[in-house]
Structure 1
Amino acid sequence: MSVQHSKAAVPEAAWVKSSYSTGNGGECLEVAALPGAVLVRDSKRPTMAKLAIGPAAWDDFLRMAAGR
């Protein structure tokens, strides 16, 4: 895992917000899948640092979150 501070060109269309997000200004993360990494950012601060997670670690996280 790493934090990316660069202004790498990730199109806004690449970012996906959770379907559980209500849009009421609560805590929400967005993810963007790139070749070799999944980026995670705070939806309220999209220009701040992004967390880069490797595909295997992301898959492990999703399995854990789903309870499998």
Structure 2
Amino acid sequence: TVEDNGPGMDNRILEKTGGRGIGLQNIHDRIRLTFGGQYGLSIQSGEGKGTTILIKIPCQRGMA
């Protein structure tokens, strides 16, 4: 999880883009292509409340 306490995003932007610009959409798509559709980025934001981005990827234990 990555969070900030900034101004947040306008609800219209969240509805239109899901909060993802080109860069975040690229990361989201690459995670999904690599690990599957249940993984990727989830973005929550509210005006005056900051933004939280959850990055969901699988945990692989025992790798060096």
Q: Normalization by structure 2: what TM-score? A: 0.34
Q: Which protein has the bigger strand share?
A: 1
Greater relative contact order (Cα < 8 A, sep 6+): 2
